Amino acid sequence: MVTTLYLIRHGETEGADVKRYKGSIDVPLSDNGIIQIQKTSDFVFRHIKLSEAAKKKSYLNDIHKPHLKSSEELALSSVFCSDLSRAVKSAEIVAEPYAISPVANPAFRERSFGVWEGMSFPEIKEQYPSEFEAWASDPVTFSPVCGESTVDLNARVMPALNGILEKHQGESIALVAHGGVNRVILCNIMGVPLENVFRVEQDFAAVNVIEFWDKYPVVKLLNGVFYG
């Protein structure tokens, strides 16, 4: 069996012109963000229709001999998302062509930045200089006051994702989440230490395509962006 995961970041949010740590603050999509995620949804719809032929030509097909779907079966079976409104709205747009409703799960919320939430980089540097330096030196285990570390985020996200993948083997599914969440997932999938989490870019409305061939993951697309 081949399980395909479309891992998507939500579209642009209101106030995105100023870079702030939004974290678990519930910020809605901007009008531009809605357009971005609609274009991402269009890509996912097209990609699903073409992906099965590509799988049949893959060298992995010779190794794993999976059961591949017929053209009538090609669709997203489920869409999952964070329960923050920017992810929920994005997931609704992704799910619409398949007449399904997304399933929201707080386990996929963005990392909480505690007292830093809503603040810009310059504001954090000015008000919390020693803490900012500690975070820059150790982005994995350091957490702001009342916030989460990357290790905390990893412990929250990965069991939830693994449970979904186990339940939906052989299906095409989507998860709409956040930049930090997606980076942690991609590091785990690619076997990259979490120390390198910020070397993985995730733009607004970016889509990553991961195929699991008998649980052997292959990243087919990374940070794909389909808007101008």
pLDDT digits (tens, 9 = 90+) for 151-195: 999 999 999 999 999 999 999 999 999 999 999 999 999 999 999
Which residue type does 20 have?
Answer: R
Global pTM reads 0.91
**CATH number of the CATH domain containing 10:** 3.40.50.1240
Q: How confident is the model at residue 19 (pLDDT cuts 50, 70, 90)?
A: confident
What is the percentage of the chain residues whose pLDDT exceeds 70? 90
Q: In what order do the strands lie in the sheet with 2-9?
A: 103-104, 76-81, 172-177, 2-9, 207-213, 216-224
Structurally, the chain folds into a number of domains equal to 1
Containing structural domain, residue 76: 2-224
Q: What is the pLDDT of residue 127?
A: 95
CA distance 65 to 52: 13
* pLDDT at position 63: 57
Give yes or no for residue 211 having a pLDDT over 50.
yes
* Band of residue 72 on the pLDDT scale cut at 50, 70, 90: very low
- The residue ranges of DSSP E strands in 84-193, in sequence order, are 103-104, 172-177
Q: Measuring CA to CA, how many Å separate 95 from each of 31, 125, 172, 181?
A: 19, 40, 12, 20
Q: How many CB atoms lie within 10 A of CB 198?
A: 12
Cα–Cα distance for residue pair 10/87, rounded to 1 Å? 5
Structure-model confidence comparison of residues 108 and 53, the more confident one: 108
- Alpha-carbon distance of 187 to 198, in angstroms, equals 10
Whether 161 and 78 have beta carbons less than 8 Å apart is answered as no
pLDDT in tens, 116-157: 999 988 999 999 999 989 988 898 999 998 999 999 999 999
Q: Per-residue DSSP letters for 33-95?
A: HHHHHHHHHHHHHHHHHHHHHHHHHSHHHHHH-PPPPPGGG-SEEEEEE-SSHHHHHHHHHHH
